[in-house]
Amino acid sequence: MKDYIEYNDNYDRGSYARSTQPSYAESDTTAYGNNATVGTSIFSGVMTRVYTWMAAALVLTAGTAWAVANSPAILQLIYGNQAVVWVLLLAELGLVMGISWGINRLSPSMATALFLLYSVVNGVTLSSIFFAYSIGTIYQAFAASALTFGAMSIVGHTIKRDLSGLGGIMIMALIGLIIASVVNLFWSNAVLDSIITYVGVFLFVGITAYDTQRIKAMCVAAEQYGDAAAPRRVAIMGALSLYLDFINLFLYLLRLFGRSRD
C-alpha cells in the first residue's frame, strides 16, 4: 500500500520560511470540496485535532519564549555562547525535517512528542523578540496574525476553487523570498528589507489558505486507508504546517509593526 502522505518540507530558520509539496495517490486528488459526504464526522474530528495541536504548540512556544526572556541565567547560557545558538537552530531544522520526512514511519505518539519538543525549542530561539520589540508591538502583531490567519484558514476551508494550482507559484515565490533574505543579510538594504517584509506578509496569507485546503484534502484521503493511525499522523502534519504558517506571518507582521514605530 502506498503511503497516504509523502512530504517534502524545506525549512529555513533564518526567515522561518518553509515550503511544502505533498504528493497524493491519484485517487486522493479529488478530495477538495467534492467529498463532503465521506467520513464527515471523522474528517471534522481530524481538523479539530489539527487546530488543537497547533494551538497547543503556539501556547508552548509563547510560554517558553516568555520564561526564557525573564531568566537571566538561561539568557546568559544561550546568548553568551554562539555555539549554543547554532545547536538550537540546527535542532529546529532537524526536528522539522525528521517529522516531515519520517511521518509515515513514526508512531503518532512519537510524532506528537517531536512536534511539541520543536515548539519548545522554537520558543527558546524566539525569546529574543522581547528585546527587539516592545511588548505592545508584540501583542499588536500577534492579534493581527491571529485575525488574519483565522480569516484565511476559513477561506481555505470553505472555498470551492482548487488552490493547488497556486501552490507552485507560492513555492517559487517563497524560494525567491528566502534567497532575497539571505542576500540582504550581507547587503543590509533598507528598501529590500521593506519589500521582503511586505512580500512575506502577503505570501503567508496566501499559503495559509492553500495549506488549509491541502490539509482538508489530506484528512479525507486518510480516511480511505485502513491504517487507524493515518488520521492522527495527518493531524500532526497539518498542525505543523499551520503552526509554521502562523509563526512566519507573525514574524513578518512584527517586523512591519516594529518598523512603523521607528
pTM above 0.85, yes or no: no
Which residues does 100 contact at the CB level (< 8 Å), separation at least 6? 7, 8, 9, 20, 237, 240
Nearest residue to 61 (alpha-carbon basis) of 112, 123, 115, 113:
123
Nearest-angstrom CA–CA distance, 22 and 42: 21
User: What are the extents of the domains in the chain?
Assistant: 9-260
Task: Compute and round to an integer the Cα radius of gyration of the chain.
Answer: 18
Q: Please name the helix (run of DSSP H) or strand (run of DSSP E) that holds residue 61, with its range, or none.
A: helix 40-69
Give the separation between CA 179 and CA 229, rounded to whole angstroms.
Answer: 37
Residues 6+ away with beta carbon under 8 Å from 78: 68, 84, 85, 88, 124, 127
Q: How far is CA 176 from CA 16, 135, 185, 211, in A?
A: 14, 31, 14, 19
Under the banding of pLDDT at 50, 70 and 90, the label for residue 260 is: low
Distance CA 139, CA 67 (A): 16
Q: What confidence tens digit (pLDDT) does each residue in 69-102 have?
A: 999 999 999 989 899 999 999 999 999 999 999 9
% of the chain surpassing 90 pLDDT: 67
* Range of weakest confidence among 45-59, 169-183, 184-198, 209-223: 209-223
pLDDT over 60 at 32, yes or no: no
**Residue 130: count of CB within 10 angstroms of its CB:** 15
43: number of Cβ within 10 Å: 20
Is residue 134 classed as helix, strand or coil in its secondary structure? coil
Predicted pLDDT of residue 13 = 35
Q: What is the pLDDT of residues 243-253, one digit of tens each?
A: 999 999 999 99
245: Cβ contacts below 8 Å, ≥ 6 apart: 149, 204, 207, 208, 211
Q: What mean pLDDT is predicted for residues 233-260?
A: 94
Query: Where are the strands (E) in the chain, listed by range?
Result: 9-12, 17-20
Instruction: Extract the C-alpha cell encoding 13.
Output: 530558520
